[in-house]
A and B are shown apart, each in its own frame.
Chain A
Amino acid sequence: MARPVFIVDGSRTPFLKARSGPGPFTPVDLAVQCGRPLLARQPFAPTAFDQVILGCVNVIADEMNPARVAALRLGMGEQMVAFTMQINCGSGMQSIDTGYRYIREGISDLILAGGAEALSHAPLVWPNSGVRWFAGFAGAKGLGAKIAAALKVRPSYFKPIIGLERGLTDPITELNMGQTAEKVGHLFGITRAQSDAYAAESHQRLANAQKQGFLKGEVETAFSRDGKFYDHDDGVRPDSTAETLAKLKPVFERPWGQVTAGNSSQITDGASWVILASETAVAKHGLTPRAVILDSQWSALDPSIMGLGPVLSASALLKRNGLTLQEVETWELNEAFATQVLGCLAAWNDDKFCREILGLDGAAGEIDRAKLNVDGGAISLGHPVGTSGNRIVLHLVNAMKRLGTRRGVATECIGGGQGGAMLIETV
């Protein structure tokens, strides 16, 4: 009999919009910033965990296996097993899912599962042609050979490639993520006006959550060495309206595309952790379970329409658990692009799609906007790719606790053509 797995606590950093140049924190710095207060408020020692699992996509050179670096920097002890996961935008949820399975199988009792990403630290990369030239130059013996090697240089060798831009391009289809959203929007007839209206609401919902203090206990203030502090998700623009967003130019497919910087998720730094515990750990340390993880599902599809990933994974998850779309009371569906979120909603409402792709008897129906991303999402918060999957689970728990709802699903689309979904219930 599989053991229940509880989410007992969690915290995250404020999500910090990448502005000019690298931000104040590396991925591990971020993981440490929100991990310290989280561990400090537990009734057990940081060394009591069985393992640490961290999702991180853009690992920086100084922090190979950031999970282990974070575990040691958090004072969790030399004996703490820690590994890093990478499934692009699903990494932070994959860490929870993996921890969930370890506990369910009875291998572990207490696991720290997180996600960390500092997109502002994404490197500039030299073109391979340039790297080859430098290797030849450095290896040349003697003055003559050096001069000969030096003369082979071409200006293009020094034109850096923006690592992040490559990272956000699907290597199979050569489509940028924004282009995959354009494609999904086209398939389901999403309009620019709908996308902008959705984006504006995301900002208003986050601004409201910040104002009402809904994020207290979830967002921990981060402090940098130069004496600055960061206490809120700073990409929020409460003054955004559908009208102001309508003025922006499309960024991926000019001039007729509909995906703009305003209705896309933001490039952002941030980290998030949740603590997973077995019944044994709950009893041993006197913990209060907040939610229980019931099931999870990963699905895959054509990379050029990766934005529909949530539809596949969440539908399979609900089907296995005998639930309808409407029986889920609260939804977190990661807002990679407004067009993509709206594409997912449209797909569930599309009779043909639901019959032929999802194997349902007809359209799954609508998800009430009042149940979906109730406190904003990646459009207003930002999308630190390795972190977002973790954040939506953490926030889903907190939102359900506040709203008094019981059943929720967190789901995200994943660059490369996948989707992940997790079903949880509050306790």
Chain B
Amino acid sequence: MDVLADRVLELGPKPAADSPYKNFKLTRDEDGIAWLLFDRAGTSANTLSADLLEELDAVVAALENQRPTGLVVRSAKKSGFVAGADVNEFRGASDPRAVETEIGRAHAVIDRLEASRVPSVAVIHGFCLGGGLEVALACQMRIAIDDARFGFPEVMLGLHPGLGGTVRFTELVNPMQAMTLMLTGKTIDARRAKSLGLVDAVTQERHVRNAVKDAVFGRLKRAKPGALNAILNLGPVRGLLASRMRSEAEKAAPRKHYPAPYALIELWEKHAGNRSAMLNAEKASFANLMVTPTAQNLIRVFFLREQMKKAAGSGNKVAHVHVIGAGAMGGDIAAWCASQDMRVTLADMKAEPIAGAMKRAAELFGKIMRKRTDQRDALDRLIPDMDGEGVRNADLIIEAVPEKLELKQKVYAGLEPKMKAGAILATNTSSIPLQDLRTTLARPERLLGLHFFNPVSRLQLVEVVSHDGTDAAMLKEARAFVGAIDRLPLPVKSSPGFLVNRALTPYMLEAMMMLDEKIDQRLIDVAAVEFGMPMGPIELADQVGLDICLDVGDMLRSKFGDTLPPTPAWLREKVAKGELGRKTGKGFYTWKDGKAEKAPLPETGPKVSDEMIDHLVLPISNVCIAALREGIVDDPDMVDGAMIFGTGYAPFRGGPLNYARTRGVEAVVSALRALAQKFGDRFAPDAGWETFK
């Protein structure tokens, strides 16, 4: 019934065609209530930019003269309320005072809205994040539509709220809860927002008119700040709570790399209870954070993600995905696709792996979907297919069978005659060149690679691999599919290890070389984590599986020779013994319940050195440069994005190439030379550094 779609948002009276404002619509209904609609020009979502805020100031000023009976603030965009401030305007900022002046102007607009003497009510649907939530907090009342989501994601950009949010949020909502939300950047749904007292009511679009009337004429039952809030905001209590928050924050984000959480805690600890002091301090603290490399790099990463999303393109045509092989990767790819509204047939000749995949899918859906009916529907879309019947109707086939050339070719031979015209044949291979896989195909132009990363639900990257005969239109469709399942595509040419595995393998193999130098494995992991990696290389190898590390290492060495460290003989023995890492419970570490058991390092032992860190991380940058030079990938920004979204490479460093750029190409090249002298030619700087800027 798409014909009814336009009637979905209740926006008050129909605005006149010629609005005096560029980014707003302003109307007045029969009760004299003014409806102020955010409708930023030329975009599908509202963000707060400097010019929009300037215009908001003019609108609020005009309303002060018109004196309506009430004011409704809402968005005219279907996508939601306001998605946040336009951080693009602060990219490259280096002078904290300039930032503070800028943010001060924005503060004044929000303060003016808050000071409005008519009853004001924000009506919120969809995403209400960061700056958007700060606008809503400046209204006297808030009514949420039941699909609304609230949050302060600033911390993910190395910032904290900067438009008075730290003040108004901790005043309105239990400060422990408020601080936790701001410190983690998590979003909450309308129900939770109501229980926190962030919104006064939750309703549906069809009741917005009546709800607004009740709000404006004093009939709405308001959420009341809990009695506890005042106590929690008292000085001595704050001190106690703040130190607890700091120790929690230290576990997730070390202060050295991520200053924002600590700045936020300090702001609240020092100033809560003193409104004007806290508002002022927030501006200065925000400005200081904005110019840190962490914030600037994280903002860049945010835009890298946007850029990759855009590169995915729109117009996805895939509705039915057929996944072959219900093993760890195939099963998880199938589950993810089903969670993203795809109809999925999961083919395997045996019931056991399908059953295991269904179990993991049920667990995943339980985590990512709140409603039981959504979980049920996603499970219904994930169709076990023991006879491989799904091929016939599938728009996309993803083959995820074991990495054996003959096996894959045998599977393709069975598939090809059954595939419908226009269907894409994708392989999730991580090690077999597409040039080898295509040799037996009747129509090799339909073959491409869709290389997912483990865990599929957490790592957003998908390498979209082409060989020289892949149909260009199909590559485009494959990228659009990746975008449609909320993953980020990286176009790569078929070459051993593609980009990510090729760059990540030396990280793990060098760690094994360091083990041969009798360096404690825990210390190696600590070195990488200190650099900012989510996990040390030894633990990562255990996680990936030592058998896989061995295979990929051998495969890469067969192509790239001595640019890779030799595989230690003891690794082969370990694999032969079945010590494969996490999956067998023992590798370098002993694993229990999915966690590596690590005793703390001795206090007096050797410490992490800069050379250790270089030894581990510079080969990553060196390989990325080589891949760029060889034309495997063509955009250095995408390389950074891929390593961050595919491996978790220290995001605040902005990726392996941005890291090199920041440290200085000269410095990196000479560090590589020093390593080459000490450890061998495999560290020799790639020729590509000469042209890299």
B380 and A41 contacting across the interface, CB-CB below 8 Å: no
Say yes or no: is B377 at the interface (Cβ < 8 Å to chain A): yes
Interface of chain B, main secondary structure:
helix
Say yes or no: is B389 at the interface (Cβ < 8 Å to chain A): yes
Pick the contact of A229 from B355, B377, B387, B392 — CB < 8 Å?
A: B355
Write the nearest CB–CB distance from A82 to chain B, whole angstroms: 15
The 0/1 profile, CB within 8 Å of B marked 1, for residues 220-263 of chain A is: 11011111110100000000000000000000000000000000
Say yes or no: is B487 at the interface (Cβ < 8 Å to chain A): no
B356 and A37 contacting across the interface, CB-CB below 8 Å: no
A73 and B345 contacting across the interface, CB-CB below 8 Å: no
A231 and B351 contacting across the interface, CB-CB below 8 Å: yes
Task: List CB contacts (< 8 Å) of B370-392 with chain A.
Answer: 376-377, 379-381, 383-387, 389-390, 392
Task: Provide the residues of chain A in CB contact with B355, threshold 8 Å.
Answer: 223, 227-229
Task: Provide the residues of chain B in CB contact with A220, threshold 8 Å.
Answer: 386
In the complex, the chain B residue whose C-beta lies closest to that of A41 is B389
The 0/1 profile, CB within 8 Å of B marked 1, for residues 64-91 of chain A is: 0000000001110000000000000000
A225 and B392 contacting across the interface, CB-CB below 8 Å: no
A223 and B355 alpha carbons, distance in the complex (Å): 6
Task: Provide the residues of chain B in CB contact with A73, threshold 8 Å.
Answer: 376-377, 380
Task: List CB contacts (< 8 Å) of B318-355 with chain A.
Answer: 343, 345, 351-352, 354-355
A226 and B385 alpha carbons, distance in the complex (Å): 18
Task: List CB contacts (< 8 Å) of A111-146 with chain B.
Answer: none
In the complex, the chain A residue whose C-beta lies closest to that of B376 is A73
Say yes or no: is A401 at the interface (Cβ < 8 Å to chain B): no
Task: Provide the residues of chain A in CB contact with B392, threshold 8 Å.
Answer: 41, 43
A41 and B387 contacting across the interface, CB-CB below 8 Å: yes
A229 and B356 alpha carbons, distance in the complex (Å): 9
The verdict on A226 contacting B359 (CB below 8 Å), with A41-B389, A75-B381 known, is yes
In the complex, the chain A residue whose C-beta lies closest to that of B362 is A225
A53 and B131 alpha carbons, distance in the complex (Å): 53
A74 and B379 alpha carbons, distance in the complex (Å): 11
Say yes or no: is B393 at the interface (Cβ < 8 Å to chain A): yes
Say yes or no: is B83 at the interface (Cβ < 8 Å to chain A): no
Say yes or no: is A40 at the interface (Cβ < 8 Å to chain B): yes
The 0/1 profile, CB within 8 Å of B marked 1, for residues 9-43 of chain A is: 00000000000000000000000100011001101
Pick the contact of A223 from B343, B377, B384, B389 — CB < 8 Å?
A: B384
The verdict on A37 contacting B385 (CB below 8 Å), with A43-B392, A227-B358, A227-B359 known, is yes
Task: Provide the residues of chain B in CB contact with A41, threshold 8 Å.
Answer: 387, 389, 392
A40 and B390 contacting across the interface, CB-CB below 8 Å: yes
Number of chain B residues whose Cβ lies closer than 8 Å to a Cβ of chain A:
25
Pick the contact of A40 from B354, B356, B383 — CB < 8 Å?
A: B383
B351 and A225 contacting across the interface, CB-CB below 8 Å: no
A37 and B380 alpha carbons, distance in the complex (Å): 11
Write the nearest CB–CB distance from B342 to chain A, whole angstroms: 11
The verdict on A40 contacting B345 (CB below 8 Å), with A32-B380, A73-B377, A221-B384 known, is yes
A357 and B384 alpha carbons, distance in the complex (Å): 50
A289 and B152 alpha carbons, distance in the complex (Å): 61
Pick the contact of A227 from B356, B387, B389 — CB < 8 Å?
A: B356
Task: List CB contacts (< 8 Å) of A200-231 with chain B.
Answer: 220-221, 223-229, 231
The 0/1 profile, CB within 8 Å of A marked 1, for residues 382-418 of chain B is: 0111110110110000000000000000000000000
Write the nearest CB–CB distance from B668 to chain A, whole angstroms: 48
A36 and B358 alpha carbons, distance in the complex (Å): 15
Task: Provide the residues of chain B in CB contact with A224, threshold 8 Å.
Answer: 358
Task: Provide the residues of chain A in CB contact with B377, threshold 8 Å.
Answer: 73
Q: Which 6 A-B pairs have the closest CB atoms?
A: A227-B359, A225-B362, A41-B389, A229-B355, A229-B351, A36-B383
Chain B residues with a Cβ under 8 A of chain A:
343, 345, 351-352, 354-356, 358-360, 362, 376-377, 379-381, 383-387, 389-390, 392-393
Chain A residues with a Cβ under 8 A of chain B:
32, 36-37, 40-41, 43, 45, 73-75, 220-221, 223-229, 231
15 further A-B pairs in the complex, CB-CB below 8 A; given A221-B384, A226-B362: A36-B380, A37-B383, A37-B384, A37-B386, A40-B345, A40-B385, A40-B389, A75-B343, A223-B351, A223-B358, A224-B358, A226-B359, A227-B355, A227-B356, A227-B362
